[in-house]
Protein backbone atom coordinates (compact mmCIF):
# COMPACT_ATOMS: atom_id res chain seq x y z
CA UNK A 1 0.00 0.00 0.00
CA UNK A 2 3.00 2.32 0.19
CA UNK A 3 4.31 4.26 3.17
CA UNK A 4 3.12 7.80 2.52
CA UNK A 5 -0.02 8.81 4.37
CA UNK A 6 -3.42 9.26 2.75
CA UNK A 7 -5.24 12.21 4.35
CA UNK A 8 -9.00 11.65 4.16
CA UNK A 9 -11.05 14.86 4.51
CA UNK A 10 -14.74 14.75 5.37
CA UNK A 11 -17.18 17.22 6.93
CA UNK A 12 -18.72 14.52 9.15
CA UNK A 13 -17.79 11.18 10.75
CA UNK A 14 -20.08 8.53 12.21
CA UNK A 15 -17.81 6.45 14.43
CA UNK A 16 -20.07 5.83 17.43
CA UNK A 17 -23.57 6.95 18.32
CA UNK A 18 -22.56 9.16 21.26
CA UNK A 19 -19.89 10.92 19.16
CA UNK A 20 -22.18 13.43 17.43
CA UNK A 21 -20.06 14.40 14.45
CA UNK A 22 -22.39 13.02 11.76
CA UNK A 23 -25.70 13.73 10.07
CA UNK A 24 -26.22 10.63 7.94
CA UNK A 25 -24.84 8.35 5.27
CA UNK A 26 -21.81 10.43 4.27
CA UNK A 27 -20.56 10.48 7.84
CA UNK A 28 -21.32 6.82 8.49
CA UNK A 29 -19.34 5.90 5.37
CA UNK A 30 -16.42 8.06 6.53
CA UNK A 31 -16.47 6.41 9.96
CA UNK A 32 -16.51 2.95 8.40
CA UNK A 33 -13.62 3.99 6.15
CA UNK A 34 -11.45 4.96 9.12
CA UNK A 35 -12.28 1.75 11.00
CA UNK A 36 -11.57 -0.49 8.00
CA UNK A 37 -8.29 1.34 7.32
CA UNK A 38 -7.30 0.63 10.91
CA UNK A 39 -8.25 -3.05 10.59
CA UNK A 40 -6.01 -3.61 7.55
CA UNK A 41 -3.27 -1.27 8.82
CA UNK A 42 -3.61 1.13 5.89
CA UNK A 43 -1.64 4.42 6.14
CA UNK A 44 -4.68 6.71 6.44
CA UNK A 45 -5.58 9.61 8.73
CA UNK A 46 -8.91 11.41 8.89
CA UNK A 47 -9.44 15.17 8.96
CA UNK A 48 -12.71 16.68 10.15
CA UNK A 49 -14.34 19.20 12.46
CA UNK A 50 -15.17 18.99 16.17
CA UNK A 51 -18.81 20.04 16.11
CA UNK A 52 -19.99 21.66 19.35
CA UNK A 53 -23.70 21.03 18.70
CA UNK A 54 -23.48 18.71 15.72
CA UNK A 55 -26.51 17.94 13.59
CA UNK A 56 -30.11 18.25 14.67
CA UNK A 57 -31.52 15.97 17.37
CA UNK A 58 -34.97 15.71 15.82
CA UNK A 59 -38.12 15.02 17.81
CA UNK A 60 -41.69 14.75 16.60
CA UNK A 61 -44.51 16.81 18.11
CA UNK A 62 -47.97 15.20 18.56
CA UNK A 63 -49.22 16.72 15.28
CA UNK A 64 -46.32 15.15 13.33
CA UNK A 65 -44.25 18.33 13.06
CA UNK A 66 -40.49 17.87 13.32
CA UNK A 67 -38.76 19.90 16.02
CA UNK A 68 -35.00 20.47 15.86
CA UNK A 69 -32.85 20.49 19.02
CA UNK A 70 -29.13 21.28 19.28
CA UNK A 71 -27.62 20.30 22.66
CA UNK A 72 -23.92 20.95 23.27
CA UNK A 73 -21.60 17.94 23.28
CA UNK A 74 -18.36 17.46 25.17
CA UNK A 75 -15.86 14.69 24.48
CA UNK A 76 -13.31 14.36 27.30
CA UNK A 77 -11.62 11.43 25.57
CA UNK A 78 -10.24 13.65 22.79
CA UNK A 79 -6.47 14.10 22.87
CA UNK A 80 -5.01 17.60 22.70
CA UNK A 81 -2.33 17.56 19.98
CA UNK A 82 -0.92 20.87 21.18
CA UNK A 83 -1.35 22.23 17.65
CA UNK A 84 -3.38 25.30 16.74
CA UNK A 85 -3.47 26.66 13.20
CA UNK A 86 -5.14 29.77 11.89
CA UNK A 87 -7.29 30.55 8.88
CA UNK A 88 -8.57 33.87 7.60
CA UNK A 89 -12.35 34.31 7.43
CA UNK A 90 -13.89 37.66 6.46
CA UNK A 91 -10.58 39.36 7.14
CA UNK A 92 -10.21 37.97 10.65
CA UNK A 93 -7.68 35.42 11.87
CA UNK A 94 -9.50 32.44 13.37
CA UNK A 95 -7.61 29.93 15.47
CA UNK A 96 -8.37 26.23 14.96
CA UNK A 97 -7.34 23.91 17.77
CA UNK A 98 -6.50 20.37 16.62
CA UNK A 99 -7.81 17.39 18.56
CA UNK A 100 -7.17 13.69 17.91
CA UNK A 101 -8.93 10.40 18.61
CA UNK A 102 -8.36 6.72 17.91
CA UNK A 103 -10.89 5.62 20.55
CA UNK A 104 -13.27 3.75 18.26
CA UNK A 105 -10.85 1.34 16.59
CA UNK A 106 -10.15 3.87 13.86
CA UNK A 107 -7.00 5.28 12.33
CA UNK A 108 -6.12 8.73 13.76
CA UNK A 109 -8.87 11.30 13.26
CA UNK A 110 -7.85 14.96 13.61
CA UNK A 111 -10.61 17.45 14.39
CA UNK A 112 -10.51 21.23 14.07
CA UNK A 113 -12.22 23.37 16.70
CA UNK A 114 -12.82 27.15 16.67
CA UNK A 115 -14.67 27.28 20.01
CA UNK A 116 -11.72 29.06 21.60
CA UNK A 117 -11.78 32.10 23.93
CA UNK A 118 -9.16 33.81 21.75
CA UNK A 119 -11.48 33.84 18.71
CA UNK A 120 -13.76 36.79 18.05
CA UNK A 121 -16.15 34.38 16.30
CA UNK A 122 -16.17 31.04 18.12
CA UNK A 123 -19.20 29.28 16.66
CA UNK A 124 -18.10 28.47 13.12
CA UNK A 125 -17.75 24.85 14.29
CA UNK A 126 -21.01 24.79 16.26
CA UNK A 127 -23.61 23.47 13.81
CA UNK A 128 -22.96 20.76 11.22
CA UNK A 129 -24.45 22.01 7.91
CA UNK A 130 -25.99 24.96 9.77
CA UNK A 131 -26.37 28.55 8.60
CA UNK A 132 -26.32 30.09 5.15
CA UNK A 133 -23.71 30.59 2.43
CA UNK A 134 -21.24 32.55 4.55
CA UNK A 135 -21.36 30.07 7.43
CA UNK A 136 -20.97 27.11 5.07
CA UNK A 137 -17.99 28.71 3.33
CA UNK A 138 -16.41 29.48 6.70
CA UNK A 139 -16.78 25.83 7.74
CA UNK A 140 -15.30 24.69 4.43
CA UNK A 141 -12.33 27.05 4.86
CA UNK A 142 -11.76 25.52 8.30
CA UNK A 143 -12.00 21.95 7.00
CA UNK A 144 -9.94 22.49 3.85
CA UNK A 145 -7.41 25.21 4.60
CA UNK A 146 -7.30 24.52 8.33
CA UNK A 147 -7.08 20.77 7.80
CA UNK A 148 -4.23 21.10 5.31
CA UNK A 149 -2.31 23.43 7.64
CA UNK A 150 -2.93 21.09 10.59
CA UNK A 151 -1.38 18.13 8.79
CA UNK A 152 1.69 20.23 7.96
CA UNK A 153 1.98 21.42 11.55
CA UNK A 154 1.73 17.83 12.76
CA UNK A 155 4.61 16.86 10.46
CA UNK A 156 2.55 14.42 8.37
CA UNK A 157 4.21 13.02 5.25
CA UNK A 158 1.06 13.11 3.11
CA UNK A 159 1.24 11.51 -0.32
CA UNK A 160 -2.43 11.80 -1.27
CA UNK A 161 -5.19 14.14 -0.16
CA UNK A 162 -8.61 12.49 -0.49
CA UNK A 163 -11.63 14.81 -0.53
CA UNK A 164 -14.76 12.88 0.44
CA UNK A 165 -17.34 15.18 -1.21
CA UNK A 166 -16.53 18.70 -2.32
CA UNK A 167 -16.58 20.31 1.13
CA UNK A 168 -12.78 20.06 1.46
CA UNK A 169 -11.91 21.59 -1.90
CA UNK A 170 -10.33 24.70 -0.33
CA UNK A 171 -7.47 22.46 0.77
CA UNK A 172 -6.77 22.20 -2.95
CA UNK A 173 -6.90 25.96 -3.31
CA UNK A 174 -4.48 26.34 -0.37
CA UNK A 175 -2.04 23.93 -2.03
CA UNK A 176 -2.49 25.87 -5.26
CA UNK A 177 -1.82 29.17 -3.47
CA UNK A 178 1.43 27.78 -2.04
CA UNK A 179 2.61 26.62 -5.45
CA UNK A 180 1.81 29.96 -7.10
CA UNK A 181 3.51 31.91 -4.29
CA UNK A 182 6.63 29.77 -4.79
CA UNK A 183 6.80 30.97 -8.40
CA UNK A 184 4.99 28.17 -10.26
CA UNK A 185 2.66 29.34 -13.04
CA UNK A 186 -1.08 29.08 -12.32
CA UNK A 187 -1.84 26.22 -14.75
CA UNK A 188 1.35 24.34 -13.89
CA UNK A 189 0.44 24.73 -10.22
CA UNK A 190 -2.94 23.12 -10.89
CA UNK A 191 -1.16 20.09 -12.32
CA UNK A 192 1.00 19.86 -9.20
CA UNK A 193 -2.10 19.93 -7.00
CA UNK A 194 -3.80 17.32 -9.18
CA UNK A 195 -0.87 14.96 -8.71
CA UNK A 196 -1.52 14.94 -4.94
CA UNK A 197 -5.33 14.90 -4.81
CA UNK A 198 -8.23 12.49 -5.35
CA UNK A 199 -11.95 13.03 -4.92
CA UNK A 200 -15.08 11.02 -4.14
CA UNK A 201 -18.38 12.34 -5.47
CA UNK A 202 -21.61 11.18 -3.86
CA UNK A 203 -24.86 12.92 -4.63
CA UNK A 204 -26.17 12.54 -8.19
CA UNK A 205 -28.71 15.32 -7.62
CA UNK A 206 -27.59 18.60 -9.26
CA UNK A 207 -28.95 20.64 -6.33
CA UNK A 208 -26.81 18.59 -3.96
CA UNK A 209 -23.60 19.69 -5.67
CA UNK A 210 -22.83 22.90 -3.84
CA UNK A 211 -22.43 26.21 -5.69
CA UNK A 212 -21.36 29.59 -4.31
CA UNK A 213 -21.27 33.06 -5.90
CA UNK A 214 -17.73 34.18 -6.63
CA UNK A 215 -18.46 37.33 -4.63
CA UNK A 216 -19.12 35.17 -1.56
CA UNK A 217 -15.73 33.47 -1.96
CA UNK A 218 -14.05 36.88 -2.18
CA UNK A 219 -15.95 38.27 0.83
CA UNK A 220 -15.35 35.29 3.13
CA UNK A 221 -11.73 34.77 2.09
CA UNK A 222 -12.38 31.39 0.49
CA UNK A 223 -10.88 32.82 -2.71
CA UNK A 224 -7.42 32.68 -1.04
CA UNK A 225 -6.25 35.60 -3.14
CA UNK A 226 -7.22 34.20 -6.54
CA UNK A 227 -8.99 36.43 -9.06
CA UNK A 228 -12.54 35.84 -10.25
CA UNK A 229 -11.16 34.65 -13.60
CA UNK A 230 -8.90 32.14 -11.86
CA UNK A 231 -11.70 30.96 -9.58
CA UNK A 232 -13.99 30.53 -12.57
CA UNK A 233 -11.26 28.53 -14.35
CA UNK A 234 -11.16 26.20 -11.35
CA UNK A 235 -14.85 25.91 -10.46
CA UNK A 236 -16.98 27.88 -12.96
CA UNK A 237 -19.29 30.82 -12.22
CA UNK A 238 -20.93 30.38 -9.74
CA UNK A 239 -18.21 28.33 -8.08
CA UNK A 240 -19.22 24.66 -8.16
CA UNK A 241 -17.45 22.70 -5.42
CA UNK A 242 -17.78 19.39 -7.30
CA UNK A 243 -16.43 20.81 -10.55
CA UNK A 244 -13.53 22.40 -8.65
CA UNK A 245 -12.75 19.08 -6.96
CA UNK A 246 -12.86 17.25 -10.29
CA UNK A 247 -10.46 19.80 -11.81
CA UNK A 248 -8.06 19.68 -8.88
CA UNK A 249 -7.87 15.87 -8.69
CA UNK A 250 -5.82 13.37 -10.65
CA UNK A 251 -8.58 10.80 -10.28
CA UNK A 252 -12.12 10.67 -8.86
CA UNK A 253 -14.60 7.98 -8.00
CA UNK A 254 -18.33 7.47 -7.79
CA UNK A 255 -19.67 5.13 -5.09
CA UNK A 256 -21.37 2.36 -7.11
CA UNK A 257 -21.16 1.02 -10.66
CA UNK A 258 -24.46 2.62 -11.67
CA UNK A 259 -23.58 5.84 -9.88
CA UNK A 260 -20.39 5.96 -11.94
CA UNK A 261 -22.47 5.93 -15.14
CA UNK A 262 -24.71 8.67 -13.74
CA UNK A 263 -21.80 10.83 -12.55
CA UNK A 264 -19.89 10.54 -15.82
CA UNK A 265 -23.05 11.59 -17.69
CA UNK A 266 -23.65 14.50 -15.28
CA UNK A 267 -20.21 16.02 -15.69
CA UNK A 268 -19.32 15.02 -19.25
CA UNK A 269 -19.69 18.60 -20.53
CA UNK A 270 -17.17 20.00 -18.05
CA UNK A 271 -13.64 20.52 -19.34
CA UNK A 272 -10.33 19.62 -17.64
CA UNK A 273 -11.95 17.21 -15.15
CA UNK A 274 -10.46 14.02 -13.78
CA UNK A 275 -11.61 10.57 -14.81
CA UNK A 276 -14.47 9.26 -12.63
CA UNK A 277 -14.01 5.61 -11.65
CA UNK A 278 -16.60 3.42 -9.94
CA UNK A 279 -15.61 2.13 -6.50
CA UNK A 280 -18.63 0.77 -4.70
CA UNK A 281 -18.97 1.69 -1.04
CA UNK A 282 -18.67 -0.88 1.71
CA UNK A 283 -19.67 -1.11 5.37
CA UNK A 284 -17.67 -2.03 8.46
CA UNK A 285 -18.93 -5.47 9.39
CA UNK A 286 -17.93 -5.46 13.07
CA UNK A 287 -19.89 -2.25 13.57
CA UNK A 288 -23.06 -3.25 11.75
CA UNK A 289 -23.38 -7.05 11.71
CA UNK A 290 -24.84 -8.90 14.71
CA UNK A 291 -22.09 -10.75 16.56
CA UNK A 292 -23.89 -14.06 16.06
CA UNK A 293 -23.68 -13.59 12.28
CA UNK A 294 -20.13 -12.27 11.90
CA UNK A 295 -18.85 -15.78 11.19
CA UNK A 296 -21.22 -15.94 8.17
CA UNK A 297 -23.01 -19.17 9.22
CA UNK A 298 -24.29 -21.34 6.38
CA UNK A 299 -26.85 -23.30 8.39
CA UNK A 300 -30.32 -21.80 7.65
CA UNK A 301 -31.62 -22.74 11.11
CA UNK A 302 -28.71 -21.04 12.88
CA UNK A 303 -29.19 -17.92 10.77
CA UNK A 304 -32.92 -17.94 11.50
CA UNK A 305 -32.34 -18.33 15.25
CA UNK A 306 -29.82 -15.47 15.28
CA UNK A 307 -32.16 -13.28 13.26
CA UNK A 308 -35.13 -14.07 15.53
CA UNK A 309 -33.15 -12.80 18.53
CA UNK A 310 -32.32 -9.57 16.67
CA UNK A 311 -35.97 -9.16 15.65
CA UNK A 312 -37.04 -9.49 19.28
CA UNK A 313 -34.44 -6.85 20.23
CA UNK A 314 -35.86 -4.47 17.60
CA UNK A 315 -39.43 -5.12 18.78
CA UNK A 316 -38.31 -4.37 22.34
CA UNK A 317 -36.62 -1.11 21.22
CA UNK A 318 -39.79 -0.06 19.38
CA UNK A 319 -41.90 -0.73 22.48
CA UNK A 320 -39.45 1.19 24.69
CA UNK A 321 -39.42 4.22 22.39
CA UNK A 322 -43.08 4.30 21.27
CA UNK A 323 -45.16 2.01 23.47
CA UNK A 324 -46.15 -0.05 20.43
CA UNK A 325 -45.82 -3.84 20.82
CA UNK A 326 -45.33 -5.40 17.40
CA UNK A 327 -46.33 -9.01 16.71
CA UNK A 328 -43.12 -11.02 16.12
CA UNK A 329 -44.95 -13.45 13.82
CA UNK A 330 -45.78 -10.68 11.32
CA UNK A 331 -43.41 -9.88 8.43
CA UNK A 332 -41.50 -6.81 9.60
CA UNK A 333 -40.32 -4.25 7.04
CA UNK A 334 -37.60 -1.72 7.90
CA UNK A 335 -37.11 1.64 6.20
CA UNK A 336 -34.64 4.16 7.62
CA UNK A 337 -32.73 6.87 5.80
CA UNK A 338 -32.64 10.62 5.40
CA UNK A 339 -36.18 11.89 4.97
CA UNK A 340 -36.25 13.70 1.65
CA UNK A 341 -38.56 13.64 -1.33
CA UNK A 342 -36.63 11.49 -3.79
CA UNK A 343 -36.16 8.64 -1.29
CA UNK A 344 -39.98 8.30 -1.20
CA UNK A 345 -40.48 7.05 2.34
CA UNK A 346 -44.21 7.32 1.74
CA UNK A 347 -44.36 5.32 -1.53
CA UNK A 348 -45.84 2.30 0.27
CA UNK A 349 -48.94 4.38 1.01
CA UNK A 350 -49.58 5.42 -2.61
CA UNK A 351 -52.65 3.13 -2.74
CA UNK A 352 -54.05 3.29 0.76
CA UNK A 353 -56.79 0.73 0.19
CA UNK A 354 -54.33 -1.80 -1.17
CA UNK A 355 -51.82 -1.43 1.65
CA UNK A 356 -54.60 -1.34 4.28
CA UNK A 357 -55.46 -4.97 3.48
CA UNK A 358 -51.88 -6.02 4.18
CA UNK A 359 -51.53 -3.99 7.36
CA UNK A 360 -54.94 -4.75 8.89
CA UNK A 361 -54.71 -8.35 7.71
CA UNK A 362 -51.55 -8.86 9.79
CA UNK A 363 -49.48 -9.64 6.70
CA UNK A 364 -47.15 -6.69 7.12
CA UNK A 365 -45.74 -4.34 9.75
CA UNK A 366 -43.44 -1.42 8.96
CA UNK A 367 -40.96 0.53 11.08
CA UNK A 368 -39.81 3.85 9.63
CA UNK A 369 -37.08 6.18 10.85
CA UNK A 370 -35.09 9.09 9.44
CA UNK A 371 -34.32 12.78 9.81
CA UNK A 372 -35.17 15.62 7.47
CA UNK A 373 -32.71 18.43 6.93
CA UNK A 374 -33.99 21.36 9.02
CA UNK A 375 -34.67 23.37 5.84
CA UNK A 376 -36.11 20.48 3.78
CA UNK A 377 -39.83 21.19 3.87
CA UNK A 378 -40.60 18.27 1.57
CA UNK A 379 -38.70 15.91 3.84
CA UNK A 380 -40.60 17.24 6.84
CA UNK A 381 -43.90 16.64 5.04
CA UNK A 382 -42.88 13.01 4.36
CA UNK A 383 -42.25 12.50 8.08
CA UNK A 384 -45.62 14.10 8.91
CA UNK A 385 -47.34 11.67 6.55
CA UNK A 386 -45.56 8.68 8.09
CA UNK A 387 -46.55 9.83 11.59
CA UNK A 388 -50.13 10.14 10.33
CA UNK A 389 -49.97 6.57 8.98
CA UNK A 390 -48.65 5.32 12.32
CA UNK A 391 -51.79 6.75 13.96
CA UNK A 392 -54.05 5.26 11.30
CA UNK A 393 -52.45 1.81 11.70
CA UNK A 394 -51.24 1.83 15.34
CA UNK A 395 -50.51 -1.91 15.49
CA UNK A 396 -48.71 -2.14 12.15
CA UNK A 397 -46.91 1.14 11.36
CA UNK A 398 -44.31 2.79 13.58
CA UNK A 399 -42.27 5.94 13.11
CA UNK A 400 -39.16 5.98 15.32
CA UNK A 401 -37.96 9.56 15.93
CA UNK A 402 -34.36 10.49 16.69
CA UNK A 403 -32.80 8.42 13.91
CA UNK A 404 -29.21 7.59 14.84
CA UNK A 405 -26.66 4.77 14.72
CA UNK A 406 -28.47 2.79 17.43
CA UNK A 407 -31.76 2.80 15.52
CA UNK A 408 -29.95 2.16 12.23
CA UNK A 409 -28.19 -0.90 13.64
CA UNK A 410 -31.35 -2.27 15.29
CA UNK A 411 -33.37 -1.95 12.09
CA UNK A 412 -30.75 -3.40 9.74
CA UNK A 413 -30.34 -6.38 12.09
CA UNK A 414 -33.90 -6.96 13.22
CA UNK A 415 -36.21 -6.29 10.28
CA UNK A 416 -37.21 -9.22 8.07
CA UNK A 417 -37.14 -7.10 4.91
CA UNK A 418 -35.22 -3.96 3.99
CA UNK A 419 -37.25 -1.61 1.80
CA UNK A 420 -35.51 0.89 -0.49
CA UNK A 421 -37.46 2.75 -3.16
CA UNK A 422 -35.73 5.96 -4.32
CA UNK A 423 -36.41 7.57 -7.66
CA UNK A 424 -33.89 6.38 -10.23
CA UNK A 425 -31.07 7.18 -10.80
CA UNK A 426 -30.80 9.34 -7.68
CA UNK A 427 -29.46 6.84 -5.11
CA UNK A 428 -25.68 7.10 -5.13
CA UNK A 429 -25.17 3.86 -3.19
CA UNK A 430 -27.40 3.10 -0.20
CA UNK A 431 -25.14 1.37 2.32
CA UNK A 432 -27.96 0.62 4.79
CA UNK A 433 -29.09 -2.12 2.40
CA UNK A 434 -25.60 -3.67 2.58
CA UNK A 435 -25.82 -3.78 6.39
CA UNK A 436 -29.21 -5.44 6.17
CA UNK A 437 -28.01 -8.00 3.62
CA UNK A 438 -25.05 -9.02 5.82
CA UNK A 439 -27.51 -9.63 8.67
CA UNK A 440 -29.69 -11.89 6.55
CA UNK A 441 -32.35 -9.20 6.16
CA UNK A 442 -33.70 -9.55 2.63
CA UNK A 443 -33.58 -6.45 0.44
CA UNK A 444 -36.67 -5.45 -1.50
CA UNK A 445 -35.30 -2.58 -3.52
CA UNK A 446 -35.42 -0.44 -6.61
CA UNK A 447 -32.54 -1.33 -8.92
CA UNK A 448 -30.52 1.75 -8.06
CA UNK A 449 -27.34 2.44 -6.11
CA UNK A 450 -25.51 -0.74 -5.07
CA UNK A 451 -28.42 -3.19 -5.49
CA UNK A 452 -27.99 -3.86 -9.26
CA UNK A 453 -24.52 -5.27 -8.41
CA UNK A 454 -25.90 -7.62 -5.75
CA UNK A 455 -29.47 -8.52 -6.62
CA UNK A 456 -30.24 -12.13 -7.48
CA UNK A 457 -34.01 -11.78 -7.68
CA UNK A 458 -35.74 -14.44 -5.62
CA UNK A 459 -32.43 -15.83 -4.35
CA UNK A 460 -30.91 -13.21 -2.03
CA UNK A 461 -33.69 -10.61 -2.12
CA UNK A 462 -36.01 -9.01 -4.66
CA UNK A 463 -35.96 -6.17 -7.18
CA UNK A 464 -38.84 -3.72 -7.44
CA UNK A 465 -39.50 -3.45 -11.19
CA UNK A 466 -36.61 -3.16 -13.62
CA UNK A 467 -33.87 -0.67 -14.49
CA UNK A 468 -35.92 1.43 -16.92
CA UNK A 469 -36.47 5.09 -16.02
CA UNK A 470 -39.84 6.54 -17.16
CA UNK A 471 -39.81 9.99 -18.71
CA UNK A 472 -41.75 11.72 -15.91
CA UNK A 473 -41.50 11.64 -12.15
CA UNK A 474 -45.24 11.01 -11.94
CA UNK A 475 -45.04 7.95 -14.19
CA UNK A 476 -42.04 6.58 -12.30
CA UNK A 477 -43.87 6.98 -8.98
CA UNK A 478 -46.98 5.27 -10.36
CA UNK A 479 -45.14 2.30 -11.88
CA UNK A 480 -42.84 1.84 -8.90
CA UNK A 481 -45.78 1.78 -6.50
CA UNK A 482 -47.51 -0.87 -8.65
CA UNK A 483 -44.34 -2.95 -8.80
CA UNK A 484 -43.82 -2.52 -5.07
CA UNK A 485 -47.26 -3.92 -4.26
CA UNK A 486 -46.86 -6.68 -6.81
CA UNK A 487 -43.55 -7.98 -5.45
CA UNK A 488 -44.86 -7.97 -1.88
CA UNK A 489 -48.20 -9.58 -2.70
CA UNK A 490 -46.96 -12.18 -5.18
CA UNK A 491 -43.44 -13.03 -3.95
CA UNK A 492 -42.30 -11.64 -0.58
CA UNK A 493 -45.39 -12.33 1.54
CA UNK A 494 -46.12 -15.81 0.11
CA UNK A 495 -42.50 -16.87 0.64
CA UNK A 496 -42.41 -15.62 4.23
CA UNK A 497 -45.66 -17.27 5.31
CA UNK A 498 -45.89 -20.31 3.04
CA UNK A 499 -42.29 -21.34 2.30
CA UNK A 500 -40.18 -20.57 5.37
CA UNK A 501 -37.40 -23.05 4.32
CA UNK A 502 -36.88 -21.02 1.13
CA UNK A 503 -36.88 -17.79 3.12
CA UNK A 504 -34.16 -19.12 5.40
CA UNK A 505 -32.07 -20.26 2.42
CA UNK A 506 -32.41 -16.78 0.93
CA UNK A 507 -31.14 -15.29 4.19
CA UNK A 508 -28.04 -17.50 4.03
CA UNK A 509 -27.50 -16.51 0.39
CA UNK A 510 -27.91 -12.83 1.24
CA UNK A 511 -25.12 -13.10 3.84
CA UNK A 512 -22.90 -15.25 1.60
CA UNK A 513 -23.21 -13.08 -1.51
CA UNK A 514 -22.81 -9.68 0.15
CA UNK A 515 -20.53 -9.95 3.18
CA UNK A 516 -17.18 -9.83 1.39
CA UNK A 517 -18.13 -7.97 -1.78
CA UNK A 518 -19.63 -5.02 0.08
CA UNK A 519 -17.44 -4.72 3.17
CA UNK A 520 -15.43 -1.58 3.93
CA UNK A 521 -12.13 -3.49 3.93
CA UNK A 522 -12.67 -4.30 0.24
CA UNK A 523 -13.53 -0.65 -0.40
CA UNK A 524 -10.31 0.59 1.23
CA UNK A 525 -8.21 -1.90 -0.75
CA UNK A 526 -9.93 -0.70 -3.93
CA UNK A 527 -9.08 2.88 -3.03
CA UNK A 528 -5.39 1.99 -2.74
CA UNK A 529 -5.33 -0.10 -5.91
CA UNK A 530 -7.47 2.10 -8.16
CA UNK A 531 -7.82 5.62 -6.74
CA UNK A 532 -4.58 6.35 -4.86
CA UNK A 533 -2.16 4.85 -7.36
CA UNK A 534 0.18 7.39 -8.96
Q: Which residues does 530 contact at the CB level (< 8 Å), separation at least 6? A: 251, 253, 277, 279
Cα 439–Cα 347–Cα 393 angle in degrees, nearest 5: 85
Residue 151 confidence (pLDDT): 98
Residue 493's CB: how many other CB atoms inside 10 A? 17
Q: Is the pLDDT of residue 1 over 70?
A: no
Spatial strand order in the sheet of 197-200: 79-89, 92-101, 109-113, 44-49, 5-9, 158-164, 197-200, 251-254, 276-278
One domain, residues 81 and 172: yes
Residue 439 confidence (pLDDT): 98
One domain, residues 292 and 279: no
Task: Spell 188-200 as b/e; 16+ CB within 10 A means b.
Answer: ebbebbbebbbbb
Residues 337-351 pLDDT 10s = 888 989 999 999 999
One domain, residues 52 and 96: yes
Residue 311 confidence (pLDDT): 98
One domain, residues 241 and 332: no
Residue 332 confidence (pLDDT): 98
Residue 373 confidence (pLDDT): 87
Q: How many residues does the chain have?
A: 534
Distances (CA, A) of 19 to 35, 56, 190, 338: 14, 13, 37, 19
Helix ranges, 182-299 (H): 186-194, 214-220, 228-235, 241-247, 257-266, 285-288
Residues 423-454 pLDDT 10s = 999 999 999 999 999 999 999 999 999 999 99
Residue 62 confidence (pLDDT): 80
% of the chain at pLDDT higher than 70: 99
Residues 62-92 pLDDT 10s = 887 889 899 999 999 999 999 999 999 999 9
- Mean pLDDT, all residues of the chain: 96
Residue 307 confidence (pLDDT): 98
Residue 331 confidence (pLDDT): 98
Q: If you average pLDDT over residues 150-157, what whole number do you get?
A: 97
One domain, residues 259 and 338: no
One domain, residues 311 and 227: no
Residues 268-280 pLDDT 10s = 999 999 999 999 9
One domain, residues 169 and 241: yes
Q: If you average pLDDT over residues 23-36, what whole number do you get?
A: 96
One domain, residues 357 and 496: yes
One domain, residues 290 and 159: no
Q: If you average pLDDT over residues 4-27, what whole number do you get?
A: 96
One domain, residues 257 and 294: no
Domain that residue 201 falls in:
5-283+522-531
One domain, residues 365 and 478: yes
Residue 280 confidence (pLDDT): 98
Q: Is the pLDDT of residue 503 over 70?
A: yes
Domain with residue 225: its CATH number is: 3.40.50.2000
Q: How far apart are CA 73 and CA 96, in angstroms?
A: 18
One domain, residues 314 and 378: yes
* pLDDT band per the 50, 70, 90 thresholds, residue 2: low
Distances (CA, A) of 259 to 245, 269, 447: 17, 17, 12
Q: Is the pLDDT of residue 185 over 80?
A: yes
The tally of domains found in the chain comes to: 2
Residues 207-240 pLDDT 10s = 779 999 999 999 999 999 999 999 999 999 999 9
Residue 36 confidence (pLDDT): 98
Amino acid sequence: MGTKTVAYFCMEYGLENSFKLYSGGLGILAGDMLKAAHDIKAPVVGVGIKWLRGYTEQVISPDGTTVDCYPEHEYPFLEDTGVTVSVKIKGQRIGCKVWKTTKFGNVPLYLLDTNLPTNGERLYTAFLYGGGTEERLAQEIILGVGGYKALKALGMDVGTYHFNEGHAVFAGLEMLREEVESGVGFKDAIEKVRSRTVFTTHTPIPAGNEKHPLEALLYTGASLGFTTDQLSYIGNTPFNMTVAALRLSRRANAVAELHGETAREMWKHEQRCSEILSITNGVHRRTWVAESLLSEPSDPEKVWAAHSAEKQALIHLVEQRTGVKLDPSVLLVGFSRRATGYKRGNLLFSDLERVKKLLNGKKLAVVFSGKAHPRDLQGRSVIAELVKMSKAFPESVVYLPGYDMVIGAALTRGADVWLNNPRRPLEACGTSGMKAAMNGVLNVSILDGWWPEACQHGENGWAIGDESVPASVEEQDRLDALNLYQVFEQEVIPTYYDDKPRWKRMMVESIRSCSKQFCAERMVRDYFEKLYRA
